[in-house]
Structure 1
Amino acid sequence: MVEVVQKLCEDMMLSLRKVEVDIKKNINDLLLEHRHLERDHVRGSILDWITPFEYSRQQNETISKRQPGTCQWFLDSLEFQKWIKSDGQTLFCPGIPGAGKTVLVSVVVDSLIALFRSDETIGIAYVYCDFRKTHEQTAKDILASLLRQLAYGQSYLPASVISLHDMHRAQGSLPSFEELLTTFRSVAALFSKIFVVIDAIDEMSMACRYKLIPEILDQQYKVNIFVTSRYIPDIVQEFKGSTALEIRASNPDVESYIETHIKSLPCFDDWSPKLHEEVKTHISTAVDGMFLLAHIYLKSIEDKITNKAVRRAMIQFKAPKLPPSESKKCELFDEIYNQTMERVNGQKAGFREFAVKILS
C-alpha cells in the first residue's frame, strides 16, 4: 500500500514538473511576443516620426491597374537588365503623357521587391511625385521618405536612426535636411546596393530636384536611380549622359488593353468580327504609345450604334508624325497633350476627372 502511494506521489510530481515546464515556456513565449510587439511599436513610432508619408498604398493601387502581361518588354530590355546588374547607374525613362509611365514604375518597383525580397543587403526605395503635393514633397520630405524606406528594410532599426530620434525627442525638435542626409548616408552604407525609383520627376520642384538628386547619386553608396519624366527639355538635358529608354505603350500591350476593354462597349455584341479587328488595329496604330488615348478613343465610340457610325468616328483617329529633333518632339508632345486634354474635356464628368488625374 505504501509503495502504491509512493508511486502515485512520484507520478504526480512528474506531472507537476511537466506542467511547470510548460507554464514557464508559455510565459517565456508570451514575454518574447510582448517584447517583439513592443519593439515593433517603438520601431513604427520612430519610422512615423521620420515621416508619416508612405507610398506603399499608391504602389499597391497602381500595380493593380496593370493589364496582365503588359510591360514585360521593358523588364526584358537590355537597358533595364543592365541597370539592375550594374552599380551606380542611372536609367532615365522619358515618355509622353498617358503612355503608362506610372503603371510601369509600379511594375519596376514590384519586380525589384520580388527579385531582392530575401536579400537584406539590397535597399529599395521609391517616390511617386505629384505636382499637387509639392507642399509635402520638398527635398527634406522626399529624403525623409527614402530614409524611412531604407531603415524599414533592415531587421532592426539602424543605430543612427535611433540616435537621431532620441536626440530630437529630448529637445522636442525635428531634424534638419542636413541631419537627415547624414543619417541617410549612414543607413545607405549598410547596404551593398540601393535602388531608388522616382516617378514623374518633372512634377518635382526644380529647387527640390537640384538639391536632392546629386545627394542621392553619391557614387560612394552604389545607388542605382530610375527616373521617369515627360519630355521636358531641361530635364532631358539634365540626364543627357545617362542611359535612356523611352516609355511608350508597345503595340502588343495596347492591343491587350483594347481587347480587354472593348468587350465592355454597349454595342460590342452587335459588331461583326471584321469590325472588331478594324477597331483594335486602327486604335492601336493611332494612339502611338498612349494608353490613355486608347481609353479616350474607346469612350468616343461607346455611343455609336451602327457599324457605319463606328467607322466614321475612327476616321478622326490619327497617329502623329514625330520630328527628328528632341526639342521639336517636346513641342509635339505638348501639342498632343493639349489635344488629348481637349478630348478629355468633352467626356462625361466622372471620366473627365479620372483622365485629368492621370494626365496631370
Structure 2
Amino acid sequence: MSGISDIPDREFWEILKWLNVVDPASNYSSALAVREPGTGSWLLEGDEYKDWKGDRGGVLWLYGIPGCGKSVLSATAVEDVKNLCDTNDDYGLAYFYFTFSDSEKQKLDNMLLSLIGQLPKRPSDRGLPAAVVDLYNSTKAIGKSADTRALKNLLSQIMYGFKKTFIILDALDEFPKGTRDNLLSWISELTVDHKAGSLSMLVTSRPEADIAASLEPLTAFSISLQSKTIDPDIRTYVQKSLAGKGGFKRFTEEIKDEIEDTLVTRSQGMYLPKDLDSVYARILEDIDEMQRIYIQRAMNWLAFSAEPLTLGQLAEAAVIEYDVEKYGENPETRTLFDTGCLISICPSLISFEDARDNESAPREQRRLRLAHFSVKEYLISDRASQGPSAYYRISEDEANLRMGHACLSRILRRSAQGTTDREGVGPTSFLYYSARYWFVYAKSIEDTAPTPLCDAAVKVLELGTGWLDVYDPDDPDRYEPPGSDVYPPAIYYSSLLNLVIVCKLLVGRKEDTVNVNAPGGSYGNALQAAACRKNVSIVRLLLERGAE
C-alpha cells in the first residue's frame, strides 16, 4: 500500500464525500435496532463462523427466504468484527447493504467507493492513502467518473496493506439481476487475488440460482437460515412478543410454552408469516377508500424512487394528480390526504429508515421505505393483479413516468407562481427533490415518454434560475446561487444529462433559435459536456448540427 498523503482540509472532506456517496451505516443501525438481545449467538458461537473469523477465512454465505433475519445477522457480524478490528491495527473491516428501495445502493461503483472509504482506519488524521487521493484528482476532481476497474484495483491495493480484511455484504439478491453478474464476478476475482487467510468475506442473500451457481464453488462455509439452526432466535423473538401481549398473562406457563413451541415449529425459519401475499392483500384492502388513490401513488415512490423520500416529501408528491397533458397544476386535494393513514400500515408494509439514529427528528423529515423486499415483489407481481389489491399493482416504467411527471409539475408550479425566493427550499423539501431527480426519471423512460412530458422537460430546462437556483447538476455542491445571467443554456444541460430526445427537440427548432456552440458551464459548451460524460448519441447529434 502506498503512503499516506497529507492534504488540505477542504480537499480531504471533498474526497470523503466522494467515497461516501451512499451511507451503509444507516442500514446497519436499522438492522441492529430491531435485533432482540441475545439473538445471533448461535452464529457467533458456531464453528463455521469462528473458522471464518479466524485463520481460515474465506467466504461465508448465509442464505434464506425473505423474512428469515439475514440483515439482522449481517449487522450482528459487523458489530462483532468491529470489536475485533478495534483491538488489531492490522485488521480492516468494510461492509455494504444492497437495498431495493435505494437505487444508489444498487450500484457496483458506489459499493466499491464505500468499501474504499471505510478501510483507512484513521481518516480523522487528515491523511488518506496516496492512491485514493491520486484517483480522486484524476477523476472526480476534474468532472470524470472513476473507471470500475480502477476502483477494484484500488480496493485490492488497500486490502494488501492489512494482515486480514473483513468484507460483509448484505442482500446480494437486491442488486439488479440484469447486471448482477458483474458483482458476482468481482467477488470471484477478489477470492483469487487474496489468500483465504487474509480475506474473510460474509455475504447474505436469498438462494437465487445465479447467486448459488457463483458462490457455491467459492464458499468455505454456507449456512441455510431455513433450518432448525435459527430456532433459538425465533424462540427469543416469540417470547418477547408474547411477553408484550397483556392477554397472555392469564395463561399458565404450560399453555404459554405450548403456544411458543407451536409458533416456533410452524415458523419454518421465518420471522415473517409464510403466507405473505394474503397478509399484504388484506392490509391493502382495508385502506380507507378516500385514501386509496394517495396510497397507490405513494407505493410508486416507495418502490422505485431514485432516493427514499421523507414523509413530508411523500405527502406532497402523493397529492399531485397524474395527467400527462397537464403540468404545474396546483393540487386542490392537499388537505384530503391523511398521512396518518400511510403511517397506520407501518411496519407491515412501510417503515422509517434510520430506526435508531433519527428517532428524535421530526416525523416529516424521516425517510420512508417499504418494510421488506417481499412487499415490492408482491406489488409488481402478477399475483397482485388478482382481486381487490389489483388497484395497487405497479410497474417500474409506469412508476418512473408518474414520478417524472410529479417532479416536472412541482418545478413548473413554482415557476407559474413567480416564486424565486429560496426560503424553505431545503434538501428535505419536495421541490428540491424534484429539481434533483426529474431528469433521472425522464431519462429512464426516454424511449417511451409521451410527447407532453418531453415538452415539459424542455420548459424546465429553459427556466434557468427557476430550476437551477434550487439544484444545479453542473455544480451540485454550490451553496449560494449566482446571478441568473450566468447559467448555461438549455442545450448545455440536455447534453450534460444525456437527454437525447429533449436535445433533439431543442436543435430541431427553427434555425438560429438554439446555438449549439453557446459558451458556458463547467465544461465550456454543450459538445464538451457531452464528450466528457461519454454521451455518444448527443455528441453525434451536436456534430451533425455544426457543433465545434
Could you state the TM-score of these two structures normalised by the residue count of structure 2?
Answer: 0.47
* 8 A contact 1:143–1:212 mirrored in 2: no
Over aligned residue pairs, what C-alpha RMSD do you find?
A: 2.6
Find the aligned partners of 2:10 and 2:241 in 1 and give their Cα distance.
44
* 8 A contact 2:70–2:204 mirrored in 1: yes
2:173 aligned with 1:159, yes or no?
no
Query: CA deviation digits over 1:237-291, x for unaligned, max 9?
Result: 2222322112256332222111111122252334344432222121111102212
Q: Following superposition of structure 1 onto structure 2, how do residues 80-119 of structure 1 map, counting pairs within 5 Å?
A: 80-87=49-56, 89-119=58-88
Find the aligned partners of 1:351 and 1:345 in 2 and give their Cα distance.
15
Find the aligned partners of 2:349 and 2:30 in 1 and give their Cα distance.
17
Q: Would you say how many aligned residue pairs link Structure 1 and Structure 2?
A: 280
2:200 aligned with 1:224, yes or no?
yes
Residue 153 of structure 1: how far off its partner (Å): 5.4
Give the 3 Å change call, closer, same or farther, for CA 70–285 of structure 1 in structure 2: same
* 8 A contact 1:134–1:204 mirrored in 2: no
**Which has the larger displacement, 168-177 or 258-267?**
168-177
Task: Decide which of 248, 257, 279 is 2:237's aligned counterpart.
Answer: 257
2:235 aligned with 1:245, yes or no?
no
* 8 A contact 2:347–2:371 mirrored in 1: no
2:258 aligned with 1:278, yes or no?
yes
2:38 aligned with 1:72, yes or no?
no
* 8 A contact 2:350–2:371 mirrored in 1: yes
Q: Following superposition of structure 1 onto structure 2, how do residues 254-333 of structure 1 map, counting pairs within 5 Å?
A: 254-293=234-273
Structure 2: 5+ residue stretches without partners: 1-5, 287-344, 352-369, 375-548
Match of 1:346 in 2: 282
Query: CA deviation digits over 1:196-243, x for unaligned, max 9?
Result: 111111112324424432343343363221111112122222222322
* 8 A contact 1:88–1:217 mirrored in 2: no
* 8 A contact 2:93–2:118 mirrored in 1: yes
Find the aligned partners of 2:61 and 2:111 in 1 and give their Cα distance.
19
Give the structure, 1 or 2, with the largest relative contact order (CA under 8 Å, sep 6 or more): 1
Find the aligned partners of 2:210 and 2:181 in 1 and give their Cα distance.
13
Find the aligned partners of 2:28 and 2:13 in 1 and give their Cα distance.
20
2:213 aligned with 1:234, yes or no?
no
Match of 2:144 in 1: 173
Query: CA deviation digits over 1:37-83, x for unaligned, max 9?
Result: x9666433312123421111221221122111111011111111111
* 8 A contact 2:92–2:121 mirrored in 1: no
Q: Following superposition of structure 1 onto structure 2, how do residues 179-190 of structure 1 map, counting pairs within 5 Å?
A: 179-190=150-161
SS in 2 for 1:292: coil
Give the 3 Å change call, closer, same or farther, for CA 41–276 of structure 1 in structure 2: farther
Compare CA radii of gyration and give the structure with the larger one: 1
Give the 3 Å change call, closer, same or farther, for CA 266–215 of structure 1 in structure 2: same
Give the 3 Å change call, closer, same or farther, for CA 101–210 of structure 1 in structure 2: closer
Query: CA deviation digits over 1:300-332, x for unaligned, max 9?
Result: xxxxxxxxxxxxxxxxxxxxxxxxxxxxxxxxx
SS in 2 for 1:291: coil
Match of 1:308 in 2: none
* 8 A contact 2:21–2:110 mirrored in 1: no
Match of 2:107 in 1: 138
Give the 3 Å change call, closer, same or farther, for CA 41–62 of structure 1 in structure 2: farther
Letter in 2 for 1:176: D
Identity level (%): 24
SS in 2 for 1:148: helix
**Which has the larger displacement, 41-50 or 97-106?**
41-50
SS in 2 for 1:131: coil
Residue 157 of structure 1: how far off its partner (Å): 1.2
Give the 3 Å change call, closer, same or farther, for CA 238–130 of structure 1 in structure 2: same
Letter in 2 for 1:181: K
More helix by share: 1
